[in-house]
Structure 1
Amino acid sequence: MASEPTSTSGERTLQLLVRQIRFEGKGINSYELVDPQGDELPVFTAGAHIDIHIGDGMVRQYSISNSPAERKRYVIAVLRDESGRGGSKTLHERVRVQDIVRVSRPRNNFHLVDDAKKVVLIAGGIGVTPLKSMAHRLEDAGIDYEMHYCAKDAGCTAFSAELEPMRANGRVHFHFDGGDPKAGLDLRRLLSEPSQGQHVYYCGPGGFMSACAEATAHWPAGTVHLEHFKAPERIVSESAANEPVDTFSVKIASTGQMIEVAKDQSIAEALDNAGVTIETSCHAGLCGTCKVRYLSGEVEHNDCILDDGEKAEYLTACVSRARGKVLVLDL
């Protein structure tokens, strides 16, 4: 389940028809995107997301919520965030049924592992979207799982009707806290004793993510998987020696070109200014679009997606910094 399908087409983006917009819950709309000619869409795996080009240069990432077995639609859910960067409000206000929207091909930084004996899915609010797709995949594969969906109340949940059969068979559990997290799901109790071959996946807002991290701190390495939908605040190291330098250079391995990265620049911005363009999207270390292999140098990784193995080989050009004077990029 962890392998990502490879497209045979060179097209980086798709032009998709908005076939349906549905009210799912308080502030939440779902959007069903299809090929205008009714053709099959590129394959995706559970946990994948797509970028949506909203207009005015605005690009946002949204997880695909439907079953990977469905080849003719992508369904996303968008919570209107009045205090956000404007992407969700723009989608709610401007996108209409029958519009054509430009989206990326699916990418996945939140894979289901291949060998899990049991999977626990824990969703906080709109974080349900990638986990719902996982539930469909696990159901189809016959893998033991349980899903816990945490929200303020029933009116704030998305996809209730679709999840009802899974709730009826004991797979999905709703937890409503009325706005007081202490009255909701007891994460410490749920996650107190991991069993052999058990994996946990969670996604949700910042406070929820912190609570899940604390509750899984004792789980074996490699069994806890998470995805942020907003970059958490970076914890600044107390050791100046471990901090990134203000100004550094990146070297392009193929040409030897040296490019200076200023204190107020990202690597991606410096590359672009020097005529070395790489694809970017979220600019927050959340999507992996700008992942680049580096060949030497010490990196300050500020992303939310790379695991320890990947960090030894890759950086995210939108947020990573150097801890030394030069990084050599495999470009």
Structure 2
Amino acid sequence: MASEQTSNSGGSTLQLLVRQVRFEGKGINSYELVDPSGAELPAFTAGAHIDIHLGDGLVRQYSLCNAPNERHRYVIAVLRDERGRGGSRALHERVHVQDIVRVSRPRNQFQLVDDARRVILIAGGIGVTPLTSMAHWLEDAGIEYEMHYCARDADCAALSGELEPMRVNGRVHFHFDGGDPKAGLDIRRLLSEPSHGVHVYYCGPAGFMQACADASAHWPAGTVHFEHFKAPGRSEPARAANDVADTFSVKIASTGQMIEVANDQSIADALEQAGVTIETSCHAGLCGTCKVRYLSGEVEHNDCILNDDEKAEFLTACVSRARSKVLVLDL
């Protein structure tokens, strides 16, 4: 895959060797990526992801699932989704052992908090990937945790071999429902009683995410954390009549430049068209690559990553809109 970045000593992307591709479960492959020269890779924290450039402008984000103390490799596990946007199919079809792939340095929008007394991890399907990395870190740190992994059956469970030692010691619990959610984990019962110092992390497909959100709605603010693999279903940002400006302007604080954003255009696209370049990746409000600080104006946030405190200061330029005529960006 062609790239302007050929050295791993600097820059925003890395050229990594595909050392191993491994079958992990029905439709699931894991990919082990290493530095071609054997050098250490940039450090990452549990819950981090990388972007993989698949050619033809196709870039997708995948969570790292190996232990964060491993500096010699990155491991991702990818479910081939025939109904997806094509990224997982491209990866399964195009990426092979001994290939060189271009990836971003790790970024993390799904971090473990520092002061948790106990952690509950709840994974649905391929959502197990970031939580597996978390389980490794919690295990090594000696922090009390329990992990619940929900899947249709054992054949559909990724990384089960890697998680087996944690299952044996009572930390990891598998829940196979045979396709009937009622036969699986009772998430409401699991999360029925919040406890001081306990934090919850969950990740999985849309229906699973909604079930976890409903079951944890009564938990204290700041104790429940989640990451979407796909943006929740919406055809376009929800807009109440007379509430959101169809066309608005962004002002560049450092220069005073005013840039109009059309109703069918993202802030990121309008900035690029005007010659103001910011880094973008997912274009769905999932990865945080295009997070920008704003100084004034009212924002309609359509992302899946910013918490309430962050929304008071930042927006995601790929999906955010304005509720005011002007947004002033700290650029």
Q: Same fold (TM over 0.5)?
A: yes
Please give the TM-score of this superposition, normalised by the length of structure 1: 0.96
Deviation at 1:240, TM superposition (A): 2.7
Matched AA of 2:37: Q
CA 1:138–1:82 in structure 2 vs 1: closer, same or farther (change >3 Å)? same
Gaps of 5+ in 1: 1-7
Q: Is 1:178–2:178 an aligned residue pair?
A: yes
CA 1:238–1:63 in structure 2 vs 1: closer, same or farther (change >3 Å)? closer
Partner-residue secondary structure (3-state), 1:196: coil
Q: Deviations over 1:173-230 (max 9, x none)?
A: 0000001111110001111112110000000000000000000011111100000000
CA 1:252–1:10 in structure 2 vs 1: closer, same or farther (change >3 Å)? farther
Taking the aligned partners of 2:89 and 2:233, their CA distance within structure 1 comes to 23
**Match of residue 217 from structure 2:** 217
Taking the aligned partners of 2:9 and 2:328, their CA distance within structure 1 comes to 30
Deviation at 1:238, TM superposition (A): 7.8
Q: Is 1:306–2:306 an aligned residue pair?
A: yes
Count of aligned residue pairs for this structure pair: 323
Correspondence 1:52-71 to 2 at 5 A = 52-71=52-71
Partner-residue secondary structure (3-state), 1:60: strand
**Match of residue 156 from structure 1:** 156
CA 1:238–1:298 in structure 2 vs 1: closer, same or farther (change >3 Å)? closer
Q: Deviations over 1:63-90 (max 9, x none)?
A: 0000001000000000000000000000
Q: Which ranges of 4 or more aligned residues in structure 1 deviate by more than 2 Å?
A: 233-241
Partner-residue secondary structure (3-state), 1:55: coil
CA 1:227–1:289 in structure 2 vs 1: closer, same or farther (change >3 Å)? same
**Match of residue 15 from structure 2:** 15
**Match of residue 241 from structure 2:** 240
Taking the aligned partners of 1:14 and 1:285, their CA distance within structure 2 comes to 23
Q: Is 1:282–2:282 an aligned residue pair?
A: yes
CA contact (8 A) 2:123 2:131 kept: yes
Partner-residue secondary structure (3-state), 2:139: helix
Matched AA of 2:95: V
Taking the aligned partners of 1:66 and 1:205, their CA distance within structure 2 comes to 21
Taking the aligned partners of 1:305 and 1:47, their CA distance within structure 2 comes to 13
Deviation at 1:23, TM superposition (A): 0.3
**Match of residue 105 from structure 1:** 105
> Percent identity, aligned pairs only?
82
Correspondence 1:1-331 to 2 at 5 A = 10-234=10-234, 239-241=240-242, 243-331=243-331
Taking the aligned partners of 1:268 and 1:308, their CA distance within structure 2 comes to 22
Gaps of 5+ in 2: 1-7
Taking the aligned partners of 1:195 and 1:323, their CA distance within structure 2 comes to 38
